[in-house]
Amino acid sequence: MNELASLFKSNMRKNGMVMALVFIMVLFQILTGGILFRSMNVNNLILQNAYVLILATGMLLCILTGNIDLSVGSVVAFVGAVAAIMMVDWGMPVGVTIFLALLIGIAIGAFHGYFIAYMHIPAFIVTLAGMLIWRGLTMVILKGQTKSPFEKSFQALAAGYLPGREVRIGQFNTLAIVLGLAVSVIFIFALFKSRRDKVKYNFEVPPFWAELLKIVFIVLAINALAFSLANYNGIPIVLILLAFLILLYTFITQKTIFGRHIYALGGNEKAAMLSGVKTQRVMFLVYTNMGLLSALAGIVVAGRLNAATPKAGNMFELDAIASCFIGGASASGGIGTIMGAIIGGLVMGVLNNGMSIMGVGVDWQQAIKGLVLLLAVVFDVSTKKKGLGN
Amino acid sequence: MGNTILEMRDITKEFSGVKALNGVSLTVEDDEIHALVGENGAGKSTLMNVLSGVYPHGTYGGAILFKGQECSFKDIKDSEKQGIVIIHQELALIPYLSIAENIFLGNEVHQGGIINWNKSIDKAAGLLKKVGLDENPTTLIGQIGVGKQQLVEIAKALSKDVKLLILDEPTAALNDEESQKLLSLLIDLKSHGVTSILISHKLNEVEQVADQITVIRDGQVIDTLVRGQDAFHEDEIIKCMVGREITDRWPERDTEVGDEVFRVEDWTVYHPVQDQRKIVNKASFNIKAGEVVGFAGLMGAGRTELAMSLFGKSYGSNHSGKIFKNGKEIVLNSVNQSIEEGVVYLTEDRKNYGLVLINDIKTNICLPNLKKISDRGILNLNEEIVQADDFRKKLALKCSGLNQHVENLSGGNQQKVVLSKWLMSEPDVLLLDEPTRGIDVGAKYEIYTIINQLAAQGKAVLMISSELPELLGMCDRIYVINEGEVAGCLNRKDASQESIMKTIMTHQKEIKSRKSL
């Protein structure tokens, strides 16, 4: 029993935000009278929040270095606008447009990164300048107007679904259910492989029942999501994109030398430098990557709205930054995870969505979101303090 | 002397079940210098934090009597009102403010909230005179050296009408000359009615100035020695501190000097910003296999700069000169290149330059060696644990586990982590900068042993130290560095504190005559 209590305690600290997310979900499920978890709404939650989660992934890397990027909202608008002009005015094909849009994002990120990494201008200032520059240029090239509509295939990335919508078992989309089961199997397989490796090295492994509990919890969550989506239009393409990004960036941050170098740079730049970390290059790549992901988010946002507007992406940077901090990242750098940032983004997303369903006005929504951000960080700081005491 | 100014009775302090202090009693007489010595983690700082109110009344057991009255301090401000001022090891000065502003920070000279700057500066000038610091009160703190900053801290304490001054390792970052100045100031203050409690690892200084020495070990008072009654002998004090006899402070080593491993010729480095200023001037030296070679010199002689500039040009600009390893010339343009060539540098400032404090032990050890535990850029996290654990065992690292954050380790164990980091890279040449700074006697001995083992393995070891006895005890040869130049090289049998100082003095005269030409 004691073991269980201590396990719960250590998990509370580690997974405090997961629990907070579950709590908020349950709370709004009740408050909205069951609307939150309806298939259509789950589907909407994903489509609505995809851009924040994409941005939060990149933003986390910036925050890990101890900085932030204020320009992402403006870059989202600018890339969307350029893509719109390429397609609507110049009639370029969708594939080429997306490719060029991503290249533009990389160039913008590299532009910021150059000043931050090699000229040692504080990131806050460089990206504040970027925020003004790209917002301004967006208005210049759009001449203050909205540009639309786009081809269906461009919208698909943001609002489309995997094919085979008509293949159904009863009322459920077959592909969604199959994918849910497949992901569950892969997850279980990966978990046991990691456990086997640890045993091979003679390391201590968590008790078997604890792993089993984890499996049950996560497999349930995956399949609940799959069934819910199967009940509606199937798997949104943007969900596949998101899952890919989350896996990729979790892998990069946790399992590669480059990821380790980002954490070291944020934890202590001087020590990292004297340990052979090419700190300038790491910083440059992190901001270049942020440009790339901003462009990707720009394409998703434009596709979802089916229009490029001068106001697109307004304040997105703050949503992304808030997601990271709610998810446990440290403002001074060196601490944070991709999963944390995603959970932080979901907390914000569920709050938004839940309150909208309840008919809470935008004014109150903002105030409440601000409070939640503050509370989340207070909670995080206080649990960490307790953690140090032990 | 004669009256008791402070009595701490039966002080007990627990941290989540662990007794940091267990019934400690300390009596300090009026107008004396009372030294507090003990290994790191013995409880000295905890005791002083109890005294100065960092740990408020009620969080500890026992009683504090100051000038005969029982005290129950709620915070530092409370104890300062009574005239108890603590100066921490890490100075609490703000570099961008002037000396005067720092002295009166939190205690401003004002009328109705408006600061009277003229009066402040005048008062500050008076205080600076008292502590013997010849600086303008409007000079920024960042522009004066650590030794002078320490004096400013004391001036700040004096501005608060200090009766009992607590100094935590005041001379740790000072050179011999500055330390002497500070110690004589303490003696001077004593005659002006200021009692001092001095926490120090430097036992020769304690021996020199203290009237009483209290030795603390494992949260308990082991002994109190009184000048005139007991013999103040370093060996005796060390025995009390570590609880065992250390017959040799430097472990024995049979030197088997082999071929030359590392040679530097005419190495010249300029200041990183002021690129006209030579910091290192035509330095040449060599290290043979199995040899421990020392760099002696005054603070600011350019030893650290020389070593760092060799390590992938981590310091300075416009490097010139040649580096040879095993007779072949090598180029070390970056830290990575340097690590690959087997030349590594252990920093003198492990907290700022050596460790990522918020990361755990294994992450820190593996940081420069990620290639060793990865395949095409992808890490093997299990291999990381295996490798780190290997060094934990080899260096007898005391920790709760490899996942412990290094910020929670003691100084000695932190230093072992930094050492592990570089040992894992399998170097041939180790440039060790103050490898035993700020760590206790027991851990020092362990570090010395490790250094000897490295030399015995045929590695070339360079050791920079500001503690001459340590260099004399450890090194086969000592290069004397002065003003960025190699002033001379002394063999073990010729080296002594006197001969080293003489070499510096002769060289200084030489430089003077060169300049006047």
Alpha-carbon distance of B261 to B266, in angstroms, equals: 17
Please indicate, yes or no, whether residues B73 and B139 belong to a single structural domain of this protein: yes
Across all residues in chain A, what is the average pLDDT? 90
| ipTM of model over 0.90 | no
Residue B24 pLDDT more than 70?
Answer: yes
Partner residue opposite B386 with nearest CB, options A201, A330, A388: A201
What is the H or E stretch that residue B485 is in? strand B485-491
* Alpha-carbon gap, residue B361 to B393, rounded angstroms: 13
Name the residue type at position A129. A
Measured in degrees and rounded to the nearest 5, phi and psi for residue A228 equal -60, -45
State the SS3 of B302-331: CHHHHHHHHCCCCCCEEEEEEEEECCEEEC
End-to-end CA distance of chain B: 56
Give the nearest chain B residue to A251 (CA atoms).
B378
Asked if the Cβ–Cβ distance from A264 to B382 is below 8 Å, we say no
Q: Is-contact B459 B451, C-beta < 8 A?
A: no
In a domain, B62, yes or no: yes
- Which token pair is A128? 């504040």
**Which of the residues in chain A have pLDDT under 70?**
1-14, 383-390
Pick the closest to residue A279 from A269, A287, A289 (CA basis). Answer: A269
Which residues of A are less than 8 Å from B314 in CB distance?
Answer: 273-274
Same domain, B334 and B450: yes
CATH of the domain at B181: 3.40.50.300
> Which residues of chain B lie closer than 8 angstroms to A274, CB-CB?
311, 314, 335, 345, 347, 353-354
- The mean pLDDT of B376-404, rounded to a whole number, is 90
Give pLDDT tens digits for A370-380.
Answer: 998 898 888 77
Q: Is residue A12 classed as helix, strand or coil in its secondary structure?
A: helix
| pLDDT value, residue A390 | 33
pLDDT tens digits for range A166-203 = 788 888 888 999 999 999 999 999 999 989 988 888 88
Which positions in chain B touch A277 (Cβ < 8 Å)?
A: 367
Residues B132 and B208 in one domain: yes
Does B336 sit within 8 Å of A278, measured CB to CB?
A: yes
Strand B110-111 relative to strand B114-115, pairing: antiparallel
Q: Which of A258, A272, A276 sits opposite B377 (nearest CB)?
A: A258
Specify if B505 maps to a domain.
Answer: yes
Would you state the pLDDT for residue A275? 94
**Chain A contacts to B (CB-CB under 8 A):** 197-198, 200-201, 203, 254-258, 260-261, 263-264, 267-268, 270-278, 330, 334-335, 388-390
Number of domains in chain B: 2
Which pLDDT value is given to residue B431? 96
Residue B402 resides in a domain: no
Q: How far is CA B394 from the centre of its chain?
A: 25
Identify whether residues B156 and B36 lie together within a single domain: yes
> What is the distance in angstroms between the Cα of B30 and the nearest Cα belonging to chain A?
38
What is the average pLDDT across B286-298? 91
- Residues B374, A201: C-beta atoms closer than 8 Å: no
What local confidence, expressed as pLDDT, does residue B198 receive? 92
Chain B residue with Cα closest to A262: B367
CA distance A157 to chain B (A): 30
Q: Are the C-beta atoms of residues A76 and A59 closer than 8 Å to each other?
A: no
Question: Looking at residue B2, what is its pLDDT?
Answer: 63
pLDDT category, B146, cuts 50, 70, 90? Answer: confident
* Statement to judge: residues B24 and B142 lie in one domain: yes
Question: Read out DSSP for B223-237?
Answer: EEEEBTTB---HHHH
Q: What residues have CB less than 8 Å from A49, skipping those under 6 apart?
A: A345, A346, A348, A349, A352
Domain range spanning residue B8? 4-242
For chain A, say whether B314 makes contact (Cβ under 8 Å): yes
Q: Are residues B303 and B450 in the same domain?
A: yes
Distance from CA of B367 to the nearest CA of A (A): 7
Q: Is B15 helix (H, G, I), strand (E, B) or coil?
A: strand
Which chain A residues are within 8 Å of B355, Cβ to Cβ?
A: 268, 271
Q: Which residues of A touch B16 (CB under 8 A)?
A: 389-390
CB atoms A264 and B356 under 8 Å? yes
Residue B464 lies in a domain: yes
The answer to whether the beta carbons of residues B200 and B171 sit under 8 Å apart is yes
B160's tokens = 């608060």
| Residues on chain B touching A264 (C-beta within 8 angstroms) | 356, 359, 363, 367
Answer yes or no: is pLDDT of B443 > 80. yes
* pLDDT tens digits, B459-509: 999 999 988 888 988 999 999 998 899 999 999 888 888 888 888 888 988
User: At A121, is the secondary structure helix, strand, or coil?
Assistant: coil
Looking at B242, B271, B302, the residue that finishes a domain is B242
Per the rule left: phi > 0, alpha: psi between -120 and 50, beta: everything else, A68 is beta
Query: Domain boundary residue among B184, B208, B242?
Result: B242
Look at residues A42, A24, A30, A8 and name the one whose alpha carbon lies nearest to residue A343: A24
User: Does B226 share its domain with B312?
Assistant: no
Contact residues, chain A, for B345 at CB < 8 Å? 274
pLDDT on residue A387: 47
Q: pLDDT tens for residues B75-126?
A: 888 888 888 999 887 778 888 899 999 999 888 888 888 988 999 999 999 9
Mean pLDDT across the stretch B149-158?
A: 89
Question: What is the distance in angstroms between the Cα of B432 and the nearest Cα belonging to chain A?
Answer: 14
Residue B396 lies in a domain: no
Which of B215, B242, B269 is the C-terminal boundary of a domain? B242
Q: Is B175 helix (H, G, I), strand (E, B) or coil?
A: coil
State the burial class of residue A233 (Cβ atoms within 10 Å of its Cβ: 0-12, 13-18, 19+). middle
Burial class (CB in 10 A: 0-12, 13-18, 19+), A383: middle
Q: How far is CA B292 from the centre of its chain?
A: 21
For B206-241, how does the pLDDT look when each residue is reduced to its tens digit (9 = 90+)? 888 999 999 888 788 888 888 888 877 777 787 777
- B235 shares its domain with B266: no
Q: Is residue B145 part of a domain?
A: yes
Cβ of residue B336 closer than 8 Å to a chain A Cβ? yes
The answer to whether A260 contacts B335, with C-beta atoms less than 8 Å apart, is no
| pLDDT value at residue A388 | 44
B512: confidence class by pLDDT, cuts 50, 70, 90: confident
* Residues B273, B236 share a domain: no
The answer to the question of residue B278 being in a domain is yes
pLDDT, position A2: 61
What are B392-420's pLDDT values in tens digits? Answer: 999 988 888 888 889 888 888 999 999 99
Identify the closest residue of chain B to A197 by CA–CA distance: B382
Region at A336 (left for phi over 0; alpha for psi -120 to 50; beta for the rest): left
